[in-house]
Amino acid sequence: MDFHKYQQQALKTDQVPSGTENDVIVPLLGLVGEAGSLLTEYKKHLRDGSAHKLFKEGIAEELGDLLWYIANVTSKFDLNLQEIAEGNLKKCLNRWGTKGKDTQTKGYFFDKDFSEQERLLRQFEVNIIEVRENNSVKIKLFINGKQVGNDLTDNCYSSDGYRFHDIFHLSYVAVLGWSPVIRKLLGRKRKSDRLFDEVEDGGRATAIEEGISALVFSYAKNHEFLEGVKAIDYELLKTIKNMTLDLEISQCSLSDWERAILMGYEVWRQAEKNLGGRIFVDMDAGFISYQGK
């Protein structure tokens, strides 16, 4: 039986049909009550152990009652249970993936149809060197031995390591196959296509990427810079998704973003601790790693 058919059949047994008094509040209260009954069954299992012979049957009955009330509330709000179930599964797959968030996946290749000169480098080495000039701590970024971009400071009253934030852009390249910032630094903008150059590689996309890096950094700063963290807050990931809805990167899932963020911060913590170092970006493998000082 599919969810749509179940919803239709369940509605035939509704004792408080739509249009009558309390037609919505009754099934809502029923959901709360049955959730409590489910917990009661589990409490009996904890208390009585194997003596609670009908534990599975009791759990199945309470879950069935919950399903009935869910279907009833769905009908009362003129929704489709089948569509809700499909939407929820899509959301879960987007958030966690099909094989778990720790599974290594290959990167994305949004520029595969462009010339080699307009593609992001698939594999490259990065060297970050910290220098002190005029009482200011700066870092210099070298890609394949050539310095790119301007010297960076923390741009902050206190030292918090944000000067190493290009590592986050590099992790986006490795895992997501995307970074307007790095594409600009490498001179790899897709100028052969005016629309791509303007939209995907332009100033707005660059500002969005920098905004994401700053947003995640604020979050990470309050969570030990993600050391020991295995999952990123769902609302933060949704915010990032919403910020990039109109860009090619919208194809990437929340689990992709989570992996890029966690992997980037793993490298960032080592670079910040060692005041720089060598980094390897492998877009083919969807991986970024710290190689040492």
**DSSP string computed for the chain:** --HHHHHHHHHTT-SS-TTSTTTTHHHHHHHHHHHHHHHHHHHHHHHHGGG-TTHHHHHHHHHHHHHHHHHHHHHHTT--HHHHHHHHHHHHHHHH-SS-TTS------TTTTS-GGGSPPSEEEEEEEEEEETTEEEEEEEETTEEEEEEE---SSS--SGGGTHHHHHHHHHHHS--HHHHHHTT---TTSHHIIIIISSHHHHHHHHHHHHHHHHHHHTTGGGTT-----HHHHHHHHHHTTTSGGGGS-HHHHHHHHHHHHHHHHHHHHTTEEEEEEETTTTEEEEEE-
Q: What is the pLDDT of residue 106?
A: 53
Report the pLDDT value the prediction gives residue 102, as an integer from 0 to 100. Answer: 41
Residue 285 has pLDDT above 50, yes or no: yes
The pLDDT tens digits for 136-154 are 899 999 999 999 999 999 9
- At 107 the pLDDT is 59
Instruction: Give 11-68 pLDDT, tens digit per residue.
Output: 999 999 898 889 999 999 999 999 999 999 999 889 988 877 788 999 999 999 999 9
Average pLDDT for residues 245-249, to the nearest whole number? 96
Q: Is the pTM of this model over 0.85?
A: no
User: What is the Cα–Cα distance from 266 to 251, expressed in whole angstroms?
Assistant: 24
Q: Which domains does the chain have, with CATH numbers?
A: 3-96 (1.10.287.1080), 116-292 (no CATH)
CA–CA distances in Å: residue 273 to residues 146, 156, 251, 254, 267: 23, 18, 34, 28, 10
Mean pLDDT of 75-102: 83
Residue 101: per-residue pLDDT: 42
- What per-residue confidence (pLDDT) applies to 51? 77
Scan for tokens 């009661």, then name that residue: 40
Q: Is the dihedral of CA 92, 98, 102, 108 positive or negative?
A: negative
Q: What is the pLDDT of residue 40?
A: 93
DSSP per residue, 202-232: SHHHHHHHHHHHHHHHHHHHTTGGGTT----
Select the more confidently predicted residue: 104 or 269. Answer: 269
Whether the CB-CB separation of 160 and 148 falls below 8 Å is answered with no
97-114: average pLDDT:
66
* Chain-centre distance for alpha carbon 197: 26
pLDDT one-digit tens code per residue, 218-236: 999 999 999 999 999 999 9
Residue 104 reports pLDDT greater than 50: no
